[in-house]
Amino acid sequence: MSSSTMARDGTGDMLEQILSPAATALYRRLTTDHYHVVDDADTLEETQRELVDSGFARVEEWNGLVRLVPVAPATAAQMVLRTLTDTIGKWQQETARAVDELIRLEPQHSAASDDSRTPLAEVITDPARIPALVHDLQASARDELLSLEVPIAAGVICRPSLSPAAANPPARWRTVFTTGYLTAEYQHIPETIVRRGGEVRLRRTLPTKLLISDRTFALVPLDQPGVAGVVLFRSATVITTLTVLFDALWEQSTPHPSGTSGGESLTPFEHHVLSLLASGLKDEEIAEHTHVSLRTVRRHVASILHKLAVDTRFAAGVQAAKRGWA
């Protein structure tokens, strides 16, 4: 992956969340140059040592040379995603531990101070307030609405339901659902979002439920079950980090089978299935990889063959390679 590709797919922004600017720049150069020759593994420069210590590069000997070699960008992306996921988890744990103390101190603060500035983070535990807050953040989004939807994280406070944004969708609306939404009870929710112009992807698991409205507000539950309350963030720094987490999860998720592609001959899901076909996976393996039934996979494979005007899976893979889709 070149430096320009990293910039386009957001990997560079992800790296900057956990590496220094100098180490990020060095990693980008390494992915272009493939390796840098160094004097000795024990005398690495500070930025070289940072990459090695954080797992983004390794030192190896080759033909008498000592080389600094980057890990594959896909592996780096997985490491960044794990780090960001751990960060969100720690935020949840630390905030949950602080809830009781904040509630205890709030009356004293209100009585002693007339400071009316809006807090950058607000803990909300009142079950009566949370559904209305979720509704308002979704309905008010005009430019962009991002969300991670986990049925169990909705808990008893906010049951899974169609977003009010469906009535007046924002300019860009992206949602990642867990495969728990591919049930008779909930599947109408992602399907309706797609029909209303939203983009939907699926993932087997998600680290948390998340809502980001116009990159101005972000809502995260205090705990995995979603019953302890939520934190409303207004901090640009926190919201940027949460957006990077969302983008990383989005890139690693599967397009929804009913998604459209704005006039292309293949839907995003069919593009994904085609890339898996080209890599040699069987229908059963594709079904497992994309979290849909074998029957659904075979239906989409037949559609791909028809749209590409070919008769075999091999011919479809050839067409995918020619068009740069695999």
Using pLDDT thresholds of 50, 70 and 90, give the confidence band for residue 155.
very low
The whole-angstrom separation of Cα 199 and Cα 189 is 12
Q: What residues contact residue 152 under an 8 Å CB cut-off, 6+ apart?
A: 180, 224, 225, 226
Question: Does 144 score more than 70 pLDDT?
Answer: yes
Predicted confidence (pLDDT) at residue 10 exceeds the cutoff of 60: no
The pLDDT of 71-89, averaged and rounded, is 72
DSSP 118: P
Q: What is the mean pLDDT of residues 158-186?
A: 85
Classified as helix, coil or strand, 121 is strand
In this prediction, residue 161 has a pLDDT band, given cuts at 50, 70 and 90, of confident
pTM score, whole prediction: 0.56
Q: In the block, which residue shows the tokens 């300019």?
A: 171
CA distance 196 to 13: 30
> Hey, what domains does the chain have and what are their CATH numbers?
3-71 (1.10.10), 79-111+118-255 (3.30.870.10), 268-322 (1.10.10.10)
Predicted confidence at residue 321, as pLDDT, reads 67
Q: How many residues does the chain have?
A: 326
How far apart are alpha carbons 158 and 128 in whole angstroms?
10
Q: For residue range 269-309, what is the model confidence (pLDDT) as tens digits? A: 887 888 888 877 889 988 888 888 888 889 889 888 888 77
Over residues 192-247, the pLDDT tens digits come to 898 888 899 988 888 888 999 999 999 988 876 667 788 899 988 888 888 988 98
Residue 300 CA neighbour count, 13 Å, CB half: 27
